[in-house]
Amino acid sequence: MQIIVGTTESNDCQISIEKAAALSVCIEDEQNNPYAQHLRGLIKDFCEREGVSAKVLLRDKGALDFCVLARLKTAVERMGK
């Protein structure tokens, strides 16, 4: 089941997550987001540290790291490992 956390308001982000056999991270509109590589690393590091195996989609609306990590943490908690 897909879990969606966060909003598409400015300074926020939306994380969609669903369980998968392997971790995959997708950044929406990646080519127009100068922080895409950083955000991908942030999400991968968190998921690997927490042992999360899932398909993750980030819809970024200018979120700072603290927000991305919080939304991701909530999404993972709601999904259940």
Query: Contact positions toward another protein, by CB under 8 A?
Result: 5-6, 9-12, 63-67, 69-71, 73-74, 77-78
CB of 42 to another protein, least distance (A): 11
Residue 11: count other Cβ atoms within 10 Å of its Cβ: 10
Q: How far is the CB of 11 from another protein (least distance, A)?
A: 4
Which residue, 12 or 28, has its beta carbon nearer to another protein? 12
Q: Which is nearer to another protein, 18 or 21 (CB)?
A: 18
| Among the listed residues 28, 30, 76, 72, the one whose alpha carbon sits nearest the alpha carbon of residue 52 | 76
Whether the Cβ atoms of residue 71 and residue 5 lie closer than 8 Å to each other: yes
**Minimal distance, residue 76 CB to another protein, in Å:** 10
How far apart (Å, rounded) are the C-alpha atoms in residues 80 and 31? 31
